[in-house]
Amino acid sequence: MLMRQSSKKEYARYLLDRLHQEIDRPITVMEVCGTHTVAIAKSGLRDLLPEKMHLLSGPGCPVCVTDDHDLDVVMALARQDGLILATFGDMMRVPGTESSLLQEKSRGADVRVVYSPSDALQLAKENSDKQVIFLGVGFETTTPVVAAALDQAVQMELENLSVFSLHKVVPPIMRVLLDDPEVKIDAFLNPGHVCTILGTEPFRFIAEEYGKPCVVTGFEAADILEALLLIVRQYRNESPAVDIQYKRAVRPEGNPVAVGFIEKYFTPIQARWRGIGEVPESGLELREEYVQYDARKRFPITVKPGKCRKGCACGEVLKGLKLPYECPLFGKVCTPVKPVGPCMVSTEGSCAAYYRYGRQK
Ligand code: SF4
């Protein structure tokens, strides 16, 4: 059992000390959560860790992994008359192949920023002469909230609201990374928020099939250090498992009510991840019985695939093959003010985190 110290700082120091003492071989650990990416960068943890420990950021930011061609389709839709496209603000500046929602809005498309799916519901109620499309982007943490708004729309028999689902699910992308011979990962820091919903069962394959340690982690520096220590111990003892460090929020069974909501409205499909490609069962579409709320089916539109942005290494950054500053555009052509790729747009993107909090090892 780990000893709790009186203050968080002291406890973090104690954990760092233990890490330096207990690590006995090189280990590469990937976090698959944008909030962890920011927490690690902000706390400067990378520079304090033992030389043998290497932290990588993975595809943990839902905005960053949204495929550029999918966004091109959304933008083509936003240009149609009689439609309002409602989106979270962080999607506004994410580039497709040619444009962004912000640019489309400046050219006249009716794109509105909302703070929750309920705001989109409200927009639909207030604009009964228009079709309101909510752009659903997010992992398992966001999807239940969208499902809850859909539930309300169904109960109200609202006919002018639909969802363009670009929702993604996390476990399949972790399998893709583990199967990729180029990607070298020894262990995972599991996403705390996603595991609050899913629990640990969907991640057991990582330990059982691939023999890799993984620990569900909270978001304070001490949480991350504690999780890294648990990983080092699993690795050293060759006893891979899915441990929960973030016990104050995560239960092994997750949140069955939230999962029930997701399953009621959505079903898994193959989805495109930016820079990674098609991944089976990694996206969510609306179930057949709710087809009238599925914007893709209700407003089918075809857009020719465009060319990826030249020089942007987002795909390699998202797979942990490159650190953000290894992209030739980082900090020169690509900055948060003038982002080239989504990893620099989103506040939870790796490139934005490295830019804001400085280069770390
Ligand atoms: Fe893409 Fe910019 Fe990051 Fe390079 S620095 S990978 S261009 S977001």
Q: Among 322, 347, 351, 354, say which to mutate for ligand 1: greatest number of ligand atoms within 8 Å of CB.
A: 351
| Closest protein CA for atom 8 of ligand 1 | 341
Per-residue HEC secondary structure of 180-237 comes to CCCCCCCEEEECHHHHHHHCCHHHHHHHHCCCCCEEECCCCHHHHHHHHHHHHHHHHC
| Closest protein CA for atom 7 of ligand 1 | 312
CA of 99 to the centre of ligand 1 (A): 16
CA of 137 to the centre of ligand 1 (A): 20
- Tokens 């962004």: give the residue: 100
Counting from 1 in the atom list of ligand 1, the atom nearest the Cα of 314 is 6
And the tokens for 344? 């620099």
What interhelical angle do 143-155 and 117-126 show, nearest 10?
Answer: 30
CA of 340 to the centre of ligand 1 (A): 6
Give the binding-site residues of ligand 1, using a 6 Å CB cut-off.
312-314, 317, 324, 327, 329-330, 334, 340-341, 343-344, 351
Residues forming a β-bridge with 131: 83
Q: What integer pLDDT is reported at residue 360 of this predicted model? A: 61
Counting from 1 in the atom list of ligand 1, the atom nearest the Cα of 331 is 5
Alpha-carbon distance 93 to 70, whole Å? 15
In the chain, residues under CATH classification 3.40.50.11740 are 1-312
Q: What integer pLDDT is reported at residue 213 of this predicted model? A: 98
Q: Has this prediction a pTM greater than 0.90?
A: yes
Q: What integer pLDDT is reported at residue 97 of this predicted model? A: 87
Q: Is 274 left (phi over 0), alpha (psi -120 to 50) or beta?
A: beta
CA of 311 to the centre of ligand 1 (A): 8
CA of 350 to the centre of ligand 1 (A): 9
Model ipTM?
0.99
Domain 1-312 has CATH 3.40.50.11740: yes
CA of 244 to the centre of ligand 1 (A): 32
And the tokens for 351? 């490139």
| Closest protein CA for atom 3 of ligand 1 | 351
Q: What integer pLDDT is reported at residue 1 of this predicted model? A: 44
Across 335-360, b (16+ Cβ under 10 Å) vs e yields ebeebbbbbbbbebbbbbbbbeeeeb
Residues of the chain with pLDDT under 70: 1-6, 308-309, 359-361
Q: What integer pLDDT is reported at residue 4 of this predicted model? A: 53
